[in-house]
Amino acid sequence: MVSPDLARNVLGIIGNIISVILFLSTVPTFYRIWKRRSVERFSAVPYLVTFVNCGLWVFYGSPLVHPSSLLVATTNGAGFVIEFIYLLIYIIYSDRKKRIRVLLALIIEIVFLLVLIVLILTLTHDKRLRSAIVGGIAVGSNIMMYASPLLVMKMVITTKSVEYMPFLLSVFCFANGLCWFAFALIRFDPFVCIPNGIGALFGLAQLVLYAIYYKSTREMIAGREGKSEVSLENMSTSTSVSTADD
């Protein structure tokens, strides 16, 4: 029979792997942004929320706050670095208005994390109290991270298109939430269990939207590409006629 501690460690390792894949799942999105030199209609909100969320969970999983949650700290440490790189790319390829707004938000988040760490370590000396305070804040942040795609989901329903809601992000959001939910159930940790259970539900909702609007999205993209080809053909024809007249 597998011991609870072994099962928890295995789930934690799997959760680390899935989480890193989750953080890397938007690489195609940022490759598109880099290639087109524009953020288009992609929102920075999910990346800003994930950035501060990862910072909070790194602090929560540190030996100074919750010594038995090292696996929580390692996965979120990777996410913290990856999301920071994403935000830098987003800032570089945004227009001036978006760039200033996202940069200010990023600075505020970094200051918030630094102030929180200093206050917690200075004013509280009991690890249970630290765990409760940081865990409570992290739960709220984690729910916001999983809920942040709701803005994109609203756009999906309005436009009947999933073009700006990355599929891999939705898949691994669901898998990540489910894995960490199971991890937290074995040695019950409500601070990890509650937000990841909610996260799994949000991920499932996104996948349902994909199933509903995938066909209409393909039709829209095909129609747009068809119009572009027709436009290029017309330009070519016009040029030929003009040359013949000369």
DSSP state at residue 165: S
Query: The pTM is what?
Result: 0.69
The 10s digit of each residue's pLDDT in 46-92 is 889 889 989 998 998 888 888 777 777 888 898 899 999 999 999 99
Domain boundaries, the chain: 4-245
Percent of the chain scored above 70 by pLDDT? 87
Assigned token pair, 113: 């994390």
Question: Under a CB-based contact definition with an 8 Å cutoff, are residues 100 and 41 in contact?
Answer: no
- What does the pLDDT read at residue 161? 82
Phi, psi (5° rounding) for residue 35?
A: -65, -40
Phi, psi (5° rounding) for residue 2?
A: -75, 130
With CA atoms as reference, report the closest residue to 232 among 219, 38, 33, 224. 224
Query: Please, what sign has the CA dihedral across residues 26, 28, 31, 35?
Result: negative
Report CA-CA distances (Å) from 69 to 64, 79, 137.
11, 16, 16
- What does the pLDDT read at residue 80? 92
CA dihedral 102, 107, 108, 110 (to 10 degrees): 120
- What does the pLDDT read at residue 149? 66
Report d(CA 131, CA 62) in Å as an integer.
10
With CA atoms as reference, report the closest residue to 15 among 205, 145, 196. 196
For the chain, give the mean pLDDT.
82
pLDDT confidence band for 229 (50 / 70 / 90): low
